[in-house]
Structure 1
Amino acid sequence: MVSEARSSLATKGWARFEVDAGLARWAEAAKAAALARMAEPAHRAEWLQCEGTWFVGVDTLPNDARGAVQGSGPLTGPGYDLARALYGELPLHAGQVSVTWPGYPRPRKDEDEAAFGYRLRRDAAHVDGLLPVGPSRARMLKERHAYILGLPLTEADPEASPLTVWEGSHEVMRAAFTEALAGIAPEDWGEVDLTDCYKAARRAVFETCPRVALPARPGEATLVHRLALHGVAPWQEGADAPPEGRMIAYFRPEFPGVDASWLKAP
């Protein structure tokens, strides 16, 4: 199982793990903690977007550096085990809690027609850590994540806005960024405008890499390569989920330094 998951992550850019009893218990506790935090007015005001169909939930989960929340022990499960085996014992940030409801997507606040069209047709596909900077919203590498670990917190139909990944896109992106950053010291990568490179690589991915939907249930886990192009699918008519919505907790710990690990690590 571990070797198959490691191979899938390397070749496809993602790996999925079956239900683990310990992780299912963690998910139950994390759901309760997330719902309590989501009910706070400040969090709702900041993160309830797309006309109430998406709670973005960055830094919403009140976990410690080992992933523990009130009522649970540290984060566990084979997905997290593989991530630690590949990238080391990186401290976990407060997890994102991404929640969608029927009708997703609606336009996000200040989202123009082109951006909303991209969200609707391409799942708002992106590579994490390339943040829009300045008035021109130039894409720059501001967060050097090691991996993306998705942990569902509610049961939902497969058509209820699942995570989507473009298989093999991590190697397309790696090649493009390697060329764009050639000759530049890794500590200076965060000041390079990668917009044109990024857009061209995305176009290549859409033309050559299959889009795969990765629905999952509590107790399962999805590990995604940090360079993989990924997004959130529109909610399909008739898809069912509890009133809490389709909830997924995400962890994206960052590499501790500014060396070349972001491009060179597995």
Structure 2
Amino acid sequence: MTDRGWCRTGPHPAITAWAQAALPVAQHAIGASAEPWRCGGTWFVGVDALPNGPDGAVAGVGFPWSALPLAPVALHRGQLSVIRPGYPQPSPDESAAAFAFRQTRDAAHLDGLLPVGPDRRRMIREPHGWILGLPLTDILASPLVVWEGSHKIMAAALEAALRPHAPETWADIDVTQAYQAARAQVFDSCPRVELPARPGEATLLHRMTVHGVAQWQGSEHGYRIIAYFRPLLATVAEWIAAP
């Protein structure tokens, strides 16, 4: 994963078993949720929506650590990212510019940088170790998209932006300008790669890989559901320093 910023594992029976157990639990959670769908009713964000245990087990089936290139850690409740046909559509809660960016750049972003304050300045408030995606449905439309090698550009730019400041203040440093400039460089120099995946496979991203979601294309029907995990690190300093 070091050079590309992503890797794929599987298909593997342990990942398949977990995905099969998680799917009905996820479908129930999605149906019971009061969370509104975004993008004109085509995207369910589903943060913390999957009721897995801290060990990742769901419905009595253990998390497939043995099939993954990861050391076991305590896990948060998984995100259930759900896309359905027509994604994306315009919506009142998204500006025309943001919708255009979603269409032309797959809403490319870096996880962990949250919009803070009335001016929505980007700060590193959720430093995570890695991003793991586990598909639950056999639908390839609207796949995860990555900019290959983008983690190297992002890491260098954010480290440079934080370097003048004391590490204990890094979570409160406005990195908006550095982030936006680095993302523009990513678009100019890194290949865009679509990563469709099926149940039984897992996609692992470096925490600083720029990624997004492709538009729904083709004639597939149903929901594309992926469970995502992003376990947090203790500090921003660890987020910057980790390989």
Q: TM-score, normalised by structure 2?
A: 0.96
After alignment, is 66-75 or 19-28 more displaced?
A: 66-75
- The Cα of 1:184 is off from its aligned counterpart by 1.8
Q: Structure 1: which amino acid aligns with 2:104?
A: R
Q: Could you list the runs of 5+ residues in structure 1 that have no partner in the other structure? A: 1-8
Distance 2:91 2:207 in 1: 24
Distance 1:114 1:207 in 2: 20
Q: Structure 2: which amino acid aligns with 1:83?
A: L
SS in 1 for 2:118: coil
Q: TM-score, normalised by structure 1?
A: 0.88
Q: Structure 1: which amino acid aligns with 2:23?
A: K
Matched, 1:130 2:113: yes
* Structure (1/2) with the larger helix percentage: 1
| Among candidates 49, 70, 82, match of residue 83 of structure 1 | 70
Is contact 1:83–1:147 with CA below 8 Å preserved after alignment? Answer: no
Distance 1:10 1:47 in 2: 37
Q: Which residue of 1 aligns with 2:231?
A: 253
Distance 2:236 2:102 in 1: 32
- The Cα of 1:185 is off from its aligned counterpart by 2.5
Matched, 1:21 2:13: yes
Q: Which residue of 2 aligns with 1:176?
A: 157
Distance 2:168 2:66 in 1: 33
- The Cα of 1:77 is off from its aligned counterpart by 4.7
Is contact 2:128–2:232 with CA below 8 Å preserved after alignment? Answer: yes
Distance 1:206 1:240 in 2: 29
* Correspondence list, 1:1-266, <5 A: 9-40=1-32, 43=33, 45-79=34-68, 82-84=69-71, 89-157=72-140, 160-236=141-217, 238-241=218-221, 243=222, 245-255=223-233, 257-258=234-235, 260-266=237-243
Q: Could you list the runs of 5+ residues in structure 2 that have no partner in the other structure? A: none
Residue deviations 1:198-230 (CA, integer Å, cap 9, x gap): 110000000000000000000100000000000
Distance 1:155 1:204 in 2: 34
SS in 1 for 2:197: coil
Residue deviations 1:81-111 (CA, integer Å, cap 9, x gap): x222xxxx43100000111111000124411
- The Cα of 1:124 is off from its aligned counterpart by 0.5
Distance 2:148 2:67 in 1: 21
Distance 1:55 1:139 in 2: 23
How large is the RMSD of aligned CA atoms in angstroms?
A: 1.3
Distance 1:78 1:200 in 2: 37
